[in-house]
Structure 1
Amino acid sequence: MKREDEIILGRIKWLMALRIFLVTSLLGIPLLLQLNYLKNPWSITTFYFLIGSTYFLTLVYALFISRTRYPLFFVSVQLGIDLLFETALIVVTGGIQSPFSFLYVITIVSACIFFHRKGGVLTAAAATFLFGTVVNLQYAHVPPFNSPSLLGEKEVFYMLFLYMITFFTVGSLSGRLSERLHEKEVGFSKLRVFTEDIVESISSGLVTTDLSGKITSFNRSASEMTGFRAEEAVGSIWWELFSWGEIRDRYRDLAITGVPQRFDGEISTKQGERCLLGVTISPLRNEHGGQIGIIGTFQDLTQLKSLEEEMQKKERLATIGEMAAGMAHEIRNPLASLSGSIEVLKGDLNLRDEHLKLMEIAVREADRLNSIITQFLLYAKPLPPRRRRTDLHALLSETVQLLQNHPEYHDRIKVSLLIPSEPQMILIDPDQIRQVFWNLSINAFQAMPEEGVLTISTRRSRPKKGKGAVVSDERIEVLFADTGGGIQKGDLPKIFYPFFTTKSSGSGLGLSIVQRIIEEHAGEIRVESSSKGTTFFITLPLDELTRSERLDIEDSRPERSPAADRPSDLFQSTENRLKSLSV
């Protein structure tokens, strides 16, 4: 229902209440006092009829008021019935000499409230016609006007003229006042709507409270940041809703100093997500300068904080990359010389078995050290992705086929690939993304040494407002879900740290490299884990060039030769690159 209709229905309710009051007082009192114009039995009967009919019709109005679709027509029917009842009352109480003729004026004013000047003038004309008809019947001695009128012909016409002037004057002036009042109401309504639109449209969260901290308003941005709807927030204590006691302490500081308070803090949204807010609270004052509450504004700093952390991380990685380049040159050359010398000595010297084993251990450890340096370089200074249009689903299928040749795979592990049959084209570096899929799969196998199920699936998604690093509107998610024992809660924040591992073997760089590759593709990787298993979520943006209507566009880079994409060669090269990336 429109707000204007709600206002009209509210006024109709007031009109109904006024009608009951007037009927009860103006008709009930004469019956109690037995006034002279109630000497005839039919006059008393008419009074009772009007009172009963008014009560009955008011009950009917009350039943239909919430169901009516046309409130103005609804009130016009009521006003028309009022005019007829007033005319009947005037007839039985003396006609032109009736003390109830002023009731026409009340109905005319009521019509002006709903229909303004036009309605007032039309109601005045109807009242004049009805009152003139009563006067003419009375002057002609038509029953029930049997006794001669005490007024002469001139007096009758003069009285009729006075009533007509009164009716039209009241209708015109009341209508004009009603129109001006309506214009003011429309102006205030537009101003209120405009103010509400401003409050609802600002990007910052806005909340107002009374002096006790009870929320009185909560704008749209505040709802989007916290997950609480305005209906849920209004009436709640601010710091209790956010589970943030510092707000209460800041209220005390504001009350003591009168200085606006600025502070940051972390809350949990209604959905349980972490949200970092920057909050400013100030006194809310009325037109006289008195404080009537608190106004608070806040911004979601989660993305900004993440960007700051990301920039700091990139700066650290840039420094590490420079160091790594120097370390690779300074360590690899002597390491190669050392490994080569050991190989020569092993062949030239006549060594006993135990000495030969020591030589082999030294060569093997040198190779392992060289592998760690290679991985560290890959993490600290990765190669930029060589993107080309690739079928993501076909890439996953190839990876699953290759996994069946890995020593970590056995018959008690089941790999379930849940992907659509149609291609999903995307601009990626297929070699790097294959590394990601391979590494996550091997980690899943290692998490299920006895038996289990690895489920690989894809789904479309859209980024949440204000969060995420994805630059495209549409995204594709790749899920790797295993049924292993899960990751310890305390280890979850650390699993992407370089050199962090919970295994007896491995460099601890596997997931760090995976994260770097996904970030280089403008994507995200996150993990959820419980005692029932672990799920990795990889999110990649869908470029415009990958949509179905653009599939006929040729790749900007030349395709590999068929020999380069043979599964056996792919398996061999991928396994060589990733055999020690697991964490």
Structure 2
Amino acid sequence: MKNYYFQDSPDFSIQIKWIVLSRVVFAILLIVSCLIFSSGENLSFFSQPFLSLYNIAAFILIISIVYLIWLNKFKKRLILAYLQTIADTFIVTAIIFVTGSYDSIFTFLYLVVIIYTSMLLLQKGSLIIATISSLQYGVLIEMEYYKVITPFLGQYYLSNTVDESHIIYRIIIVMVACFAVASLSGILALQLKGAKQDLKITQEHLKRVEKMAAMDEMISGIVHEIKNPLASLSGSIQLLREDAKPGSYEDKLMQIILRETNRLKNIVDDIRLFAKPRTDNAVEMKIADTIEETVELFLNDPERNKQINFNMNLDKNICIFIDPAHFTQILWNLLKNAAQSIKDRGEIKIYLKPSRNNRVYLTVKDTGIGITKKDFSHIFDPFYTTKPDGTGLGLSIIHRLVDTYNGMIDFESTPGKGTIFTILLNSTPVKRQTTKS
């Protein structure tokens, strides 16, 4: 399963911060360990390799500060993550070099870098770091063996003490270990991210479902009580308008009444849809096509901000069982909210990808103003809105429709940076077309 948007998640920045903090702790431990060991062996604090290890630790502390400044000032977090992990492989190689190269006990640090890279950049990133680590270690040992570089501690050259076959064997063992750890940790990290996301979506969705369940009966009763008087009012005004002179003061008042009556009718219809969505028209459909059609219609909407760019990454083979009108309404409302949150230039990204256990992820991400913390627990509440002309039913209806089809919805938002809405739906097997011979 590919993850197209993990670097856009606020959790990605948090993970980077934790890794930077861990790097700082490692540098401090390295300094303390050198001081303790040198004092225990009655060696000078500034003898080799301790002095070089102090310098490496100081370098780690300096670049950690640079990483934090980058994280707070710039948006290229994915580039930052790769630069950090690649730089760490060079730091590990430097530590191995100053502590004996072939005889160094710090080779395992490559595996540590690969493991936390898999947590940050998933399997692709961990395999890249495994390749870089293997190459660095192999080149270091070979250069010492063939006397291209002098051993740091001035010990004998490897060619004088170790057989070449042992050198090759050691390099192969390190390479195999790096790629094995990269593959396994990458798979586990991907599964862990998916499981954590599914769990978070499930927990938040169930809380909202329980909250809304108490409103169902009350809302259904209100809709029933309003519908009939509203229809009578609309019909009566239309009859009275037939006797009014076109363009007269009375006619204009009746037009206003009819317009507002129709607006009330639309609100009542939305409430009915929220209270009891019907699934009679549900069919199996490839939703990538519907997404493209809906986006095309949205692009032609005269109310749309023309400075918004759309970016789509869709799996064309995904099918779900849903009423096409319901799916279009879900996507349209999400696009509308995303567009309204972008004041000037911006971007809306739509991702459609498969998940585990025959599930589907539909994600709509915008670069708008985001959602404030105080609104987090209320955005799916019926009639809760922060817009002057809003009814507060858009996201409530989306939530109810998604829940009707045994799906779930969740969101992440950073004020001032944007919002990510994620919908988890059940997929259906793709029907293969067979040709008759």
State the TM-score, normalizing by the size of structure 2: 0.49
Quick check: which one's helix share is greater?
2
State the TM-score, normalizing by the size of structure 1: 0.38
Rg (Cα) greater in structure = 1
Which structure's relative contact order is higher, taking Cα pairs within 8 Å and 6+ residues apart? 2
